[in-house]
Amino acid sequence: MKEALSKPIIIAGPCAAESTEQINASIQQINKRNIQIMRASLVKPRTKHGWDGIGLEEGIPMLKRIKNAGIIPATEVLDIDEAKQIVDGVLGNEDGKMMLWAGSRNQNHRFQRDLGSLAAHDSRLIIGAKNQPWRSEDHMRGIISHIADAGGADRENILFIMRGYSELNDQGFRNVPDYEAALQIKKDEGVNVLLDPSHIGGTRDKVIKVAKEGLTLARNGVIFDGAMIEVHPNIEDAKTDQKQQLTWKEYDEYILPIFEKGEELSSNAAD
């Protein structure tokens, strides 16, 4: 069982859980690599009305499959009742860890506090939070404060995820990254800060570009603690975010070498 989180923290896997076959194929790929956490969302907030996830009844056994394969399952949650239901269904009274995260569209501070409180009372939980879609460093610090100060979660168990701001830009990105604010927050707030190149880039070529530029960046000796990245075992079948999910071949070719440079990066992170 790959238990304690080691750096870089890599969360890879499909945008959404879609079928048992897709989850099994993803588990197989993850277990061939040094990846501790697998993402697979059961509920999908969508920009436009459409398929919005497999749901809890079918999805919880899929997350349990991931856990039973020795991988930490990670999934987005929309409210605290759903979060509790998923933890009960996936972990029950067993040992093991899981990650729940609040998505970018979900900026309810009471929910952030409740998630923090859930983690404060259950050391098996890792709490993730994406940044909000609009530009504000203050708001991002607020998210962390709600989870940690109000909710009581240990900052070491919080993964703050930079997924960019929804702004027009001439690079063709889906969302515009704010590396400077993310790395400053990591330095000041004592939480882990990850980069989400998938939702920043929006298309496979740009996801790779963002991963390279963001994950090799150092500011005042600070670098990203890792990344959340969407990888699908069978791209043609992807029901969400099809254009931005990488194949495992692309992951090996373009993303793995960046992480393999991780140690080198940490020791050079002094500019």
Least separation in angstroms between CB 99 and ligand PEP: 12
Is 53 one of the binding residues for ligand PEP (CB under 6 A)? no
Closest CA to 76 of 42, 49, 109: 42
Is 15 one of the binding residues for ligand PEP (CB under 6 A)? yes
Closest CA to 42 of 12, 5, 81, 83: 83
Of residues 126-145, those binding ligand PEP (CB under 6 A): 130
Is 163 one of the binding residues for ligand PEP (CB under 6 A)? yes
What string marks each residue from 225 to 264 as x (binds Mn ion by CB under 5 A) or -?
Answer: ----------------x-----------------------
Is 104 one of the binding residues for ligand PEP (CB under 6 A)? yes
Instruction: Give the number of other Cβ atoms within 10 Å of residue 200's Cβ.
Output: 26
Q: Cα(191)–Cα(176) distance, rounded to whole angstroms?
A: 22
Pick what 205 binds: ligand PEP, Mn ion, none; C-beta below 5 to 8 Å, kind-dependent.
Answer: none
Convert the chain into a string of H (helix), E (strand) and C (coil).
Answer: CCCCCCCCEEEEECCECCCHHHHHHHHHHHHCCCCCEEECECCCCCCCCCCCCCCHHHHHHHHHHHHHCCCEEEEECCCHHHHHHHHHHHCCCCCCCEEEEECCCCCCHHHHHHHHHHHHCCCCEEEEEECCCCCCHHHHHHHHHHHHHHCCCCHHHEEEEECCECCCCCCCCCCECCHHHHHHHHHHHCCEEEECHHHHHCCHHHHHHHHHHHHCCCECCECCCEEEEEECCCHHHCCCCCCCCECHHHHHHHHHHHHHCHHHHHHHCCC
Least separation in angstroms between CB 230 and Mn ion: 6
Pick what 211 binds: Mn ion, ligand PEP, none; C-beta below 5 to 8 Å, kind-dependent.
Answer: none
Q: Which stretch binds ligand PEP (CB under 6 A): 67-75, 102-110, 140-148, 261-269?
A: 102-110
Least separation in angstroms between CB 196 and Mn ion: 9
Least separation in angstroms between CB 33 and ligand PEP: 20
Of residues 5-64, those binding Mn ion (CB under 5 A): 15
Is 36 one of the binding residues for ligand PEP (CB under 6 A)? no
Of residues 124-143, those binding Mn ion (CB under 5 A): none
Pick what 244 binds: Mn ion, ligand PEP, none; C-beta below 5 to 8 Å, kind-dependent.
Answer: none
Is 207 one of the binding residues for Mn ion (CB under 5 A)? no
Pick what 201 binds: Mn ion, ligand PEP, none; C-beta below 5 to 8 Å, kind-dependent.
Answer: none
Binding region for ligand PEP (CB under 6 A): 15, 41, 103-105, 130, 163, 199
Binding region for Mn ion (CB under 5 A): 15, 241
